Structure 1
Amino acid sequence: MLNALIVVFRESLEAMLVIGVLLAWIARQPNPAALRRGLWAGVGAGLGLALALGFATFAAQSQMQGEALEKFQVGMVLFAAGLIVQMVLWMHRHGRHMRRELEAQAGRAAGALGIGAVAALAVAREGAETVVFLYGLGLESQGGDRLGLLAAALAGFALAAATGALVARGARFLSYRTLFAVSEILLLVIASSLLMAGVDRMIGLDWLPPLLDPVWDSSTLLDDGSGAGRLLADFAGYRARPSASLLLAYAAFWSFALWRLRRSAKPVS
Structure 2
Amino acid sequence: MLATAIIVFREVVEAALVIGIVMAASRGVARRGRWVGSGVLGGLLGACVVAGLADRLAEVAAGMGQELFNAIVLFTAVALLGWHNVWMQRHGRELAQQMTRVGRAVLSGERPLYALAVVVGLAVLREGAEVVLFLYGIASAGEGSAISMLTGGALGIALGSALGLTLYFGLLRIPARHLFTVTSGLILFLAAGMAAQGAAYLIQADWLPPLGREVWNTSEFLSEESPLGQILHTLVGYVARPDGMQIVFYLATLAIIGGLMRRVGGGSKTHRPAS
Q: Which residue of 2 aligns with 1:255?
A: 255
Matched, 1:5 2:15: no
* Match in the other structure for 1:224: 224
Q: Which residue of 1 aligns with 2:127?
A: 126
Could you tell me which residue of structure 2 aligns to residue 168 of structure 1? 168
Larger RCO of the pair (alpha carbons < 8 Å, separation 6+): 2
- Following superposition, the deviation at residue 37 of structure 1 comes to 2.6
Q: Does 1:49 align with 2:41?
A: no
* Shift of residue 56, structure 1, vs aligned partner: 1.6
% identity of equivalent residues: 32
Asked if 2 retains the 8 angstrom alpha-carbon contact of 1:166 and 1:174, the reply is no
Alignment correspondent of 1:58 = 55
- Cα deviation digits, residues 58-114 of structure 1 (max 9, x gap): 133234434255443322211111111111111112222332122334538841233
- Aligned equivalents of 1:208 and 1:72: distance in 2? 15
Q: Structure 2: any 5+ residue segments left out of the alignment?
A: 270-275
Which residue is equivalent to 2:272? none
For each residue in 1:127-185, what CA deviation from the matched residue of structure 2 results, as whole angstroms up to 9, or x when unmatched? 0000011111112337x822111111011100111122223333356442221111111
By how many angstroms is 1:202 displaced?
A: 0.9
Structure 1 SS opposite 2:200: helix
- Counterpart of 2:77, as a letter, is A
For 1:24, give the aligned amino acid. A
User: 1:202-249: per-residue Cα shift (whole Å, max 9, x none)?
Assistant: 111111111211222222222223332232223221111111111111
User: Which residue identity lines up with residue 8 of structure 2 in the other structure?
Assistant: V
The residue correspondences of 1:16-165 to structure 2 (distance < 5 A) are 16-27=16-27, 32-106=29-103, 107=105, 110-141=111-142, 145-165=145-165
Which residue in 2 is equivalent to 1:233? 233
Cα distance in 2, alignment partners of residues 173 and 222 from structure 1: 39
Q: Which runs of 5+ in 1 are unaligned?
A: none
- 1:170 counterpart SS class: coil
How large is the RMSD of aligned CA atoms in angstroms? Answer: 2.2
Output the TM-score relative to the length of structure 2: 0.87
Partner AA of 1:198 in structure 2 = G
Q: Which residue of 2 aligns with 1:196?
A: 196
In structure 2, how many angstroms separate the alpha carbons of the residues matched to 1:67 and 1:199? 17
Indicate if the aligned counterparts of 2:68 and 2:201 stay in contact, CA closer than 8 A.
no
* Structure 1 residue ranges (4+ consecutive) displaced by more than 3 angstroms after TM superposition: 68-72, 104-110, 169-175
Aligned CA distance change for structure 1 residues 167 and 120 (closer, same or farther; 3 Å): closer
Is the contact between residue 167 and residue 175 of structure 1 (CA under 8 Å) also seen in structure 2? no
1:35–1:111 CA contact under 8 A, matched in 2: no
Residue 74 to residue 126, structure 1, CA distance change in 2 (3 Å): same
Amino acid at match of 1:154: A
Q: Which moved more, 1:32-41 or 1:200-209?
A: 32-41
Displacement of 1:11 after TM fit?
A: 0.2
Q: Is the 8 A contact 1:61 1:69 kept in 2?
A: no
| Alpha-carbon distance in structure 1 between the residues aligned to 2:194 and 2:36 | 35
Show CA shifts across 1:16-59 (max 9, x none).
Answer: 0000111112115xxx1244432221211111000111112113
What is the aligned residue count?
A: 264
Cα 1:222–1:80, aligned 2, differ >3 Å: closer, same or farther? same
Structure 1 equivalent of residue 243 of structure 2: 243
